[in-house]
Amino acid sequence: MKKSFLWAFATIAVLTVLTGCEKEDEDAISMDDVNKGVIKKTGKNDKEYSVVDLGLSVLWATCNIGADSPEQYGDYFAWGETQTKSYYAIDNYAHCNGDISSFTKYTQHPDKTYLGTPDRKKTLEKTDDAATQLMGENWRVPQYDDFEELRIRCSCKCCKLNGTWGYLFTSTRNGNSIFFPLSGMRDPGDIMYSGERGYYWSNQLTTLTNDKTIEADVFDLLKSSTPTTNSYQSREIGLPIRPVYIE
pLDDT at residue 41 tops 50:
yes
Contact 205, 213 (CB under 8 A): yes
pLDDT recorded at residue 224: 77
Q: Give, as one character, the DSSP assignment of residue 142.
A: P
Cross-strand bridge partners of residue 204: 123
User: pLDDT for 100-153, tens place per residue?
Assistant: 999 999 999 999 999 999 999 999 999 999 999 999 999 999 999 999 999 999
The total number of residues shown for the chain amounts to: 247
Contact 183, 194 (CB under 8 A): yes
Query: What is the torsion angle, in degrees rounded to the nearest 10, for the CA atoms of residue 110, residue 114, residue 115 and residue 121?
Result: -60
User: pLDDT for 178-237, tens place per residue?
Assistant: 999 999 999 999 999 999 999 999 999 999 998 899 999 999 999 978 999 999 999 999
Peptide bond into 240 cis (omega under 30): no
Extents of the domains making up the chain:
26-245
pLDDT recorded at residue 36: 86
Torsional sign, CA 229, 232, 233, 238: positive
Torsional sign, CA 45, 51, 53, 54: negative
pLDDT recorded at residue 24: 53
pLDDT recorded at residue 35: 84
Tell me which residue of 147, 163, 157 sits closest to 179, measured CA to CA: 157
Contact 82, 133 (CB under 8 A): yes
